[in-house]
């Protein structure tokens, strides 16, 4: 039970810092500034029936939070594996 709680809590805690790091990356900012990012997200906008800038932004932010959570799960798993291999 303790391991399940740790495996869920650590990625949840790391999600926001990773999201902030992604949101402040110059590459991603330029990608959206010059229009390619919006074109990439267009299928999600259609799927979510997004009309207007507010709905589009909500879909982009939600997607970035999901990506941040997945990256934090990967980081926690790799860190746990590295620590286990060092301790053996």
Report pLDDT for 64.
93
* Separation of alpha carbons 13 and 72, rounded Å: 9
Give the model's pLDDT for residue 69: 96
Label residue 62 by pLDDT band (50, 70, 90). very high
Residue 51, by phi and psi: left (phi above 0), alpha (psi -120 to 50) or beta?
A: beta
**What pLDDT sits at residue 66?**
95
Cα distance from N-terminal residue to C-terminal residue, the chain: 23
Residue 3: burial class (beta carbons within 10 Å; 0-12, 13-18, 19+)? exposed
- Count of structural domains, the chain: 1
Domain extent at residue 69 = 2-87
Q: Which pLDDT tens digit goes with each residue over 3-42? A: 787 778 999 999 999 999 998 999 988 888 887 888 888 8
In the numeric block, the tokens 């301790």 are attached to: 87
Instruction: Tell me the pTM.
Output: 0.83
């Amino acid at each position: 039970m303790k391991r399940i709680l740790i495996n869920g809590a650590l990625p949840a805690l790391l999600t926001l810092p990773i999201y902030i790091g992604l949101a402040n990356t110059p590459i991603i900012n330029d990608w959206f500034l010059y229009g390619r990012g919006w074109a990439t997200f267009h299928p999600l906008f259609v799927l979510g029936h997004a009309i207007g800038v507010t709905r589009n932004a909500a879909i982009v932010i939600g997607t970035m939070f999901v990506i941040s959570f997945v990256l934090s799960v990967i980081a926690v798993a790799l860190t746990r594996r590295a620590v286990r291999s060092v301790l053996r």
